[in-house]
Amino acid sequence: SRRVKVNDRQEAPLVLDMAPFLSSPDSPWLPPEGGGDEELYDLTSVLVHSGTAGAGHYYAFAREVDQAGRGEWWEFNDQTVSPTLEETVRRAL
């Protein structure tokens, strides 16, 4: 069978608000207006493949997020781990 790599650009937010997907706006399970961020999720890692469907290279970006949602991004590429910019991660999404 023939392998085909999909190279379409995919985008993902650095913070994902899941509230619209969990229940209706009048649900008693949602926090009151202006309350809570229980449905907000921080992106903490990205896996990247460069190459073709038959061969290539994987590397990753990851961060540990503190209570305030801050965290330094790191690039993991084979034996090298180095700090990287958030903009570099955004370009990889």
For residue 76, which phi and psi values (nearest 5 degrees)? Answer: -110, 110
**Any idea how long the chain is?**
93
- 27-77 confidence digits (pLDDT tens): 665 555 554 557 788 889 999 999 998 899 999 999 988 887 788 999 999
What's residue 9's pLDDT?
82
Band of pLDDT at residue 3, cut at 50, 70 and 90 = confident
Task: Check if the beta carbon of residue 36 is closer than 8 Å to that of residue 85.
Answer: no
pLDDT band at 16 (very low <50, low <70, confident <90, very high): confident
Query: Residue 17 pairs with which residues in a beta bridge?
Result: 40
DSSP strands (E only) in 1-93: 15-17, 40-42, 45-51, 56-63, 73-77, 80-84
Whole-number pLDDT of residue 26: 65
pTM of the model: 0.73
Q: How far separated are the first and last CA of the chain, in Å rounded?
A: 29
